[in-house]
Amino acid sequence: MTDRLFDYAHAVCVTAGYVLSYWNRPFFPEGCVDASLDDYVDYDTMLRIGGSFSGFAEAFKAITDWYGWRHIVLVSNDMSLCWYGAKPFLEVIGQDANYTFTWLRLGVEPTDEQLHNVLEQIRALTRGLWL
């Protein structure tokens, strides 16, 4: 279901962006987070309010560089929309040799044991585990 909603939102945003550009009208999409809409040539009247998923990953990378963070753990659920939001982090940070990057995925309703295991992994992967 979520895949279809994302595909539908993408199709609406792409079409609206082209039409509003043709009519030279401003386009302020609230939830159009697809990276293809970052093309300022095709979408020259679009002004992002929240940014694209890839823009979020680039902004987070700038923060990690600023603070010198090198061990990054991203936790998301397996829902499709979260996957679309998390995937650019893998592309931006996960492919950079200066970082260790781990993407932990949870089910939609994780058990207490699964949450505990994820918390232990975060602790071990980000600052080390000392007994």
Q: What does each C-alpha distance from 55 to 34, 89, 91, 92 come to in angstroms? A: 10, 10, 12, 10
130 has a pLDDT exceeding 80: no
Give the start-to-end residue ranges of the domains of the chain: 2-38, 53-126
Lowest mean pLDDT among 30-39, 54-63, 88-97, 108-117: 30-39
Can you tell me the mean pLDDT for 20-35?
Answer: 78
- What CA–CA distances, in Å, run from 87 to 9, 72, 75? 18, 14, 11
Asked if 61 contacts 90 with a C-beta cutoff of 8 angstroms, the reply is no
pLDDT for the residue 66: 92
Query: Mean pLDDT in the chain?
Result: 79
Helix, coil or strand: residue 131:
coil
* pTM of this prediction exceeds 0.85: no
CA distances from residue 28 to 8, 12, 48, 49, 84 in whole angstroms, order as listed = 18, 13, 6, 7, 21
Q: For residue 114, which of 124, 102, 104 has the smallest C-alpha distance? A: 104
DSSP 8-state symbol, 23: T
Q: Which two tokens stand for residue 88?
A: 């650019």
**What confidence score (pLDDT) does residue 128 get?**
53
Residue 129 pLDDT greater than 70, yes or no? no
- The runs of H, that is alpha helices, within 1-131 are 2-22, 53-67, 80-92, 112-126
Crossing angle of helices 80-92 and 2-22, in 10° steps, is: 70
**CATH class as words, domain 53-126:** alpha beta
pLDDT band at 7 (very low <50, low <70, confident <90, very high): low
**pLDDT tens per residue across span 64-103:** 999 888 888 888 877 666 777 788 888 888 888 888 888 8
- Confidence at residue 8, expressed as pLDDT on a 0 to 100 scale: 53
Highest-scoring range by mean pLDDT, 1-5, 8-12, 90-94, 126-130: 90-94
